[in-house]
Amino acid sequence: MGTVYTLLAMKPNPNQIWIILAAFFAVGGGILGYRLSSRMAYDTFKLLNVVGICSDFLGLLVVSYILAAPAFVKSLAANWLTVCVGHIMLFVPVGILITASVCAIVGFPSAPRTAKLAASLFAYGIVPIILLEDFALIPKWQRFASPDARLKFLGGFLLIGGMLVQLVAAILDFNS
């Protein structure tokens, strides 16, 4: 059992796990893209609001619970949770985009709208992913080297990002 804890506490090597995580989250995005494309209609602002609330919830968990946890849990979260958040932000929109593009060719009712949404999420997510990598995943400054500092950045990143997504959803709701 000690070996499992040692393996989980290790810092993930992106060369070893990125393909598995990328495939997992891209398939999840593909399933989501299929479900959204097959709907007759949906409101984009409602979907963005759900994404923002989920991001806020995860950010609150990181800031309030994980920072108060033992060092092992902090190390685990700082190493693995950051990788998962980055992969979710990158590969879920890619999976949605690929599936929605195929569904648009087949003639699904909401596929063009879903493809446009996925392309927007991908384009607007690139800069935050770079910040996440530089400050929390592979910190370039000594100040962010400790798991506490990385988790504080990750929690703030998720909270601020979730609030910004909800703000965009509110603006889209006013315009509809």
pLDDT at 75: 85
8 A C-beta contact, residue 73 and residue 66: yes
pLDDT at 49: 95
Q: Which of 56, 55, 75 is nearest to 151 (CA)?
A: 75
| 111-154 residue pLDDT tens | 999 999 999 999 888 888 988 988 888 888 888 888 899 999 99
What is the pTM (predicted TM-score) of this model? 0.85
| Rounded mean pLDDT for each run of 10 residues along the chain, 176 residues in total | 55 69 94 95 92 95 88 86 90 96 95 93 88 87 88 94 94 89
Provide the CB-side half-sphere exposure for 72 (13 A, CA). 6
Distance CA 167, CA 14 (A): 33
The two structure tokens encoding residue 39: 């709907």
Distance CA 27, CA 34 (A): 10
pLDDT at 11: 62
